[in-house]
Each structure stands twice: as structure tokens, then as C-alpha cells.
Amino acid sequence: MAHSQPHHPASRFLRDPRLPWLEIRRVRAGNAFSHGMHSHDCHSFGAILSGHSEYRNGTHSTDVGRGDTVIINVEDRHACNSRSDAAWSYDMIYLDSHWLAERCSAATGAANIDIPMFSAGTSADPRLHSALVKLADALDSPSVTRLECESHAETLCGLLHDSLHPLPLPDVPPERLERVMEFMASEWQRDLSLQELCHVADCGPTSLIAAFRHHYGLTPHAALVDLRVRQARQRLRRGLAIADVAQDCGFADQAHLQRTFKRLLATTPAHYQGRRLRP
């Protein structure tokens, strides 16, 4: 579960001890904040949600607004401050640079650089912006699983790889993906990590996410949730209590099961359990 630190009402920091390579800051109506030029010991990516601001990176300055993403390499000196009266809101994702380097190799020919250094300072790609916000939403949810957050992070890395630093990802044979599906089918009740699934598939996390999307049309996390919902349906048909089903099937609580059930099946566990076939 993500932990919020003591914060200004407009700003919250989110961290999860299971994901030490990730930190998120969510700012809402942060017009009063004034940032001086500063740097981070990691890569950072900011999704502008509303308002307009001036983004400075080194000697370069540009205006950014809703839908834009700012891209900040490790140790880049930068600042971003509101330039209008409209509420200035954004999500900032901080990723450990060495964790990122395992997914986005250093630029071709950059022999002395072992971490990616992106040349673009901003992006208007809506997919990248959406991936940043979805990762922040996931870490901000009390019912988030480790695999869910990891999947969102790997999806983000895949988009960074494709849109900002295009190098080919290694292909993952379908039989390896089938091994992962079989592994999840036997271990679906546990809090599985992406590292475990990569070990089964013998590939990297970004490649695994991309291969799952290509072959199955969903992420490993979505496949695991589907397995858990199928198990929940079996238990509900047997008349087990919904709260017990939620606990048995790997959901955070009854409300988490209900939200997931409704999202996937357009009905609630109680409604599903109350159905009876007429003789």
C-alpha cells in the first residue's frame, strides 16, 4: 500500500516500500509553489493536468499546459512554475535511473553513458501522459497490488522506450508466455511480483509487458485479476460470504472485489450471487 507523507494541502508524496525505485508527487492547485532551479538524483517525468507553467531545463525555457509531459534527466537543473491564474495541477513520477536503465538502454554510440539520457524535454504524446497519470492513480489507491503498480510502471517504460528512445525490444516466444499463464494459474492467490513472472519467462519486464499485450491483448496484472474474478465467481455460486470470497481471492477487501467485479462483469457480487435459474 502506498504511504502519503505529511504534506501541504495541495501536495502529496506517495511511496510504497515494495517499490523502492518509485516516488510520486501529486500537486493540485499548486499555483502558490515557487520552484528554484534544482536537480534530482533520478529521472523524473511530469504530467500537466491543468493550468499553464514555464518549464526551464538548463538554458532552455518553454511553456507547457494540460496534456503535456515534461522529461527531466538525472541531474538536469530545472524549474517549473505556474504562469496563469488557472489551477496548476500535475503528477510527477520519480524513477530510479538504474532501474530505468534496465528497461531503456543508453543511446547507441554513447559508450561512456550507462543510463538513458533523453534528448526531448517535453512530449505531447497522449499515451505517455495517460500512462503517467494511471501509474499515479494506481499508487494512490488503497487496494493497489504490487503487480498492478509494477505493470503500470513497465507500461510507462515501454512508452518512453517507443516514443523517446526507440530501440528494438527482444521478442518473447509464445511458449514462455504460456508458462507465465500456467504459473499465475497455480499461484493466483499470492501477491505476485513482476520479477517472479520475468524469471518464469526468462525475459525482461518491459519485454514481458509488451509481449503480453501483443499476444493476449492485456497485461499480466489484468490476466491475474481475471483469474481471481473467475475464482470469486465459483465461490459466490457456492453461497460463500462476499467478504470471505474477497479475502480468499486476493482482493484488498469486499469493496475492492465489488469494484473489480462491476468493472469486468457489469454486475455486483451480491447481484451475481442472488441469481437463481428457474426449474
145: three-class secondary structure by DSSP: coil
Paired with 48 in beta bridges are 90
Q: The whole model's pTM is what?
A: 0.67
Question: In this predicted structure, what is the pLDDT of residue 278?
Answer: 38
**CA distance linking residue 99 with residue 226, whole number of Å:** 28
Does the pLDDT value for residue 55 go beyond 60?
yes
**CA distance linking residue 258 with residue 146, whole number of Å:** 20
Cβ-in-10-Å burial (0-12, 13-18, 19+) of 49 comes to buried
**Cα 270 versus chain centre, distance:** 30
CATH hierarchy code of domain 3-126: 2.60.120.10
User: What share of the chain has pLDDT > 70, as a percent?
Assistant: 89
User: Among residues 50, 93, 51, 49, which one has the least CA distance to residue 72?
Assistant: 93
Q: Which tens digit of pLDDT belongs to each residue from 162-211? A: 777 654 556 788 899 999 999 999 999 888 999 999 999 998 888 888 88
Q: Does domain 223-274 have CATH number 1.10.10.60?
A: yes
Mean pLDDT confidence for 91-108 = 79
Question: In this predicted structure, what is the pLDDT of residue 21?
Answer: 94
